[in-house]
Copies of this chain bind each other. A is one copy, B any other.
Amino acid sequence: MIIIKVGGGEKTNWDGIANDLVNLSQLEKIVLVHGASVRRDEVAQKLGAPTKTVVSPSGISSVYTDNKAIEVFLMVYAGLTNKQIVAKLQKYGLNAIGLSGVDGKLWQAKRKNDLLVAENGKVKLIKDNLTGRVERINTDLINLLVENNYIPVLCPPAISFENEIVNTDNDLATAQMAESLGVKEIVVLFEAPGMLENFPDEKSVINNISKKDLELYMEQAKGRMKKKILGAKKAFEMGVTKIYWGDSRIEHPVLSAMEGKGTVID
């Protein structure tokens, strides 16, 4: 089994991904995880509840999630984007089925109410944040589906142990899935060619990173890449042996990444 995680940008070549999966699915069971952050922000804006991003004291940015934000999350991730991806894959003959982390308690999360935030040089505590860290995976459900030749297409939110719908970090959820399912290889696609030596020079892709050196790249990583590195570190701690970072915008996003044309971490 292989897990493919696709970021939430709008330039992703979904036809290319679907095409790659037609080939890959002959060889491997596939679980797909996707984001939808760009569209989420657009819809949130239109609905008069713009996404609020906060930054932790260590510089990791995340979304402050109140009830309104969870509603937008459900609409754009579990509704709009998830089903459009499913329909796209079906167009290529792939047997896709879309689920959020809530369905069948696929992703159970430990709620983290309190969020430590750095604001104007001060550290603040935000309460009642509807987020959580995925700690338990319904592997029976995933196995049931893949054994019956479905391709699960998964997205946040997750469900807390107290049955609240909570936002969760997609990269960490992916790492947790890898551990629970015994998955050794993860493909992570985003709108960049890989880890860049000289951001934003897209020609400066680093083709290989040793997993023990990942920490060293935290400093030079920009924005969301910090989260990718954290997710990768977590995935290696959880038994993954190889992670492929690749460009979601190119002709063969998945196959190119697996051929090492992005950044391979092992």
- Known pairs A95-B104, A98-B103, A102-B87; A82 contacts B78 (CB<8 A): yes
Mark out the residues of chain A between 148 and 169 whose CB falls within 8 Å of any chain B CB in the assembled complex.
Answer: 148, 150, 157, 159, 163-165
Q: Is chain A's interface secondary structure helix, strand, loop, or mixed overall?
A: helix
Tell me if A139 counts as interface (CB < 8 A to partner B). Answer: no
- Partner of A165 from the list B47, B87, B159 (CB cut-off 8 Å) is B87
Cβ of A108 to closest chain B Cβ, rounded Å: 10
**Contact between chains at A103 and B86 (CB < 8 Å):** yes
Q: Is A144 close to B, CB under 8 A?
A: yes
Instruction: List residues 62-115 of chain A with CB under 8 A from any CB of chain B.
Output: 71, 74-80, 82-84, 86-87, 90-91, 95-100, 102-105
Task: Count this chain's copies in the assembly.
Answer: 2
Least CB distance from A14 to B in Å reads 13
Interface size on A, residues (CB 8 A): 39
Asked if A83 and B165 sit within 8 Å, CB to CB, the answer is: yes
A80: contacting residue among B79, B105, B140, CB under 8 A? B79
Option from B75, B96, B148, B164 in Cβ contact (under 8 Å) with A87: B164
A97 to chain B, nearest CB (A): 4
Extra contacts, 17 of them, besides A78-B79, A99-B103 (Cβ < 8 A), are A43-B75, A46-B46, A47-B47, A74-B84, A75-B76, A79-B79, A79-B80, A83-B100, A83-B102, A86-B102, A86-B103, A87-B102, A87-B159, A90-B159, A90-B163, A98-B102, A98-B103
11 contacts between A and B (CB under 8 A): A46-B48, A74-B83, A76-B79, A78-B79, A78-B83, A83-B102, A86-B102, A91-B163, A98-B100, A98-B102, A99-B103
